[in-house]
Amino acid sequence: MKRTTAAIMASMITGASLLRARRHASTGAVGVVGTRLQTWIPPAPRSALTRLVAAMWASPVTLAGLLAGAGSATRPRFVDGIVLFAPARGITGLLIRRRGFTAAGLGHVVIALEEPSASLLAHELAHVRQAERLGPFMAPAYLALLAVHGYRHHPMERAARLAAERHATRR
């Protein structure tokens, strides 16, 4: 009984500390960066040279995406300049489903549970463009912002949702 009470108290203290840290961080440099990132939807590279440089810069994240895609039990195909694994099954599909996501983007790879809609593809392409700019720093930046803001208020997710909304209103 004492161990259970101690575990509950430790969880409460940890949760309170995390909330306080999130509030504090959102007012500091991470908050300023997060505010700017929530509307950051980089355009696609225009020339063949900039597409090549962007692909090389994002290649570490893309390699992780290809490894994850290999566990999706789905044949990859090329769509809009990305490698798409859909519908994802296998261990990767199970992990995406358990996290409550519809799709996941890693570099130039998108893994989707079902055939992606146009707006979902626009959302994931925003992440592809972000990965082209951040390259190997994409994962650490994404995870740091996730720790501070959570998924729902994550600045890069907000930007991707904005890209999907803009795509839907253009139709």
DSSP secondary structure string, 119-137?
HHHHHHHHHHHHHHHHGGG
Confidence at residue 38, expressed as pLDDT on a 0 to 100 scale? 85
Question: Do β-strands 109-112 and 82-85 pair in parallel, antiparallel, or remain unpaired?
Answer: parallel
pLDDT for 18: 56
Strand segments, DSSP code E, in the chain are 77-79, 82-85, 103-106, 109-112
The whole-number pLDDT of residue 36 equals: 79
Where does residue 167 fall: left (phi above 0), alpha (psi -120 to 50 degrees), or beta otherwise?
alpha
Q: What is the pTM of this model?
A: 0.78
The per-residue pLDDT for 73 is: 93
What parts of the chain have a pLDDT lower than 50? none
Q: What number of other Cβ atoms are within 10 A of residue 105's Cβ?
A: 23
